[in-house]
Amino acid sequence: METSAARPHSTLAQASRERRDIVSGEVMEEARLIRFVTGPDGQAVPDLARKLPGRGMWVAADRASVTAAAKKGLFARSAKAKVGAPADLADQVEALLKSRLLSALGLARRGGDLTSGFEKVHAAIASGKAAWLIEASDGAADGRRKLWALARKQARPPGLIGLFNGAELSLALGAENVIHTAFLAGRAAGHWAEDVRRLAGFSPLLPEDWREEPVEAKREP
């Protein structure tokens, strides 16, 4: 459920940067991994922005891998030092990714990369400018169905996200009653998509009761 417009890395160096997952031993792109460092208290700390000082310990961006790393003492093995990990580490990563995505939406709105409201979102989808359709999880189904029906007709349908409720979206965007939002295609949408893909390993991107478009929402245009 991601557009090709949401995929590019900003530099060739980023595209070629690879790390080894301490759980599976597989070498993969950083975008598919979560970086951890050892905190001052000797616990593994998620470093989603990959900027914290210290030796990085890399784990595949999914709940099972992070849980395994925590339970099996793999952070200590990787660091060759005494490093602990809380049992709820995967939950912490999920919460941090969601917070990061919401913060990015606020920045995108201020940067002109986001548009909200049914008519504006409808126009963005119809013009092929929407990389993501972001729908409030508690919004009325009728408006969502109309926008998603339009999205499915596009040559490159936007991805569909239903992670956040209206209150969360309104707070993040500094607006009232935010239900329908479109993230416009571009570099900002590409960076946002990386975190969306990482979060997909920890949490469903759509509410369970959205039955009319689950298959379409998961496919890549």
Q: What is the DSSP letter of 84?
A: B
User: Taking 60 as the threshold, does the pLDDT of residue 9 lie above it?
Assistant: no
Mean pLDDT, to the nearest integer, of 153-176? 96
Contact 134, 183 (CB under 8 A): yes
* Residue 12, amino acid: L
User: Taking 80 as the threshold, does the pLDDT of residue 4 lie above it?
Assistant: no
Model confidence at 211, in pLDDT bands (50, 70, 90)?
A: low
Beta strands 18-20 and 57-60, pairing class: unpaired
Model confidence at 210, in pLDDT bands (50, 70, 90)?
A: confident
Lowest mean pLDDT among 22-26, 30-34, 116-120, 212-216: 212-216
User: Taking 60 as the threshold, does the pLDDT of residue 5 lie above it?
Assistant: no
Mean pLDDT, to the nearest integer, of 21-41? 97
pTM, two decimals, is 0.86
Please name which of 220, 214, 213 lies closest in space to residue 150, comparing C-alpha atoms.
213
| Whole-number pLDDT of residue 12 | 41
Please name which of 177, 164, 99, 110 lies closest in space to residue 132, comparing C-alpha atoms.
164
Mean pLDDT across the chain, nearest whole number? 90
Contact 31, 9 (CB under 8 A): yes
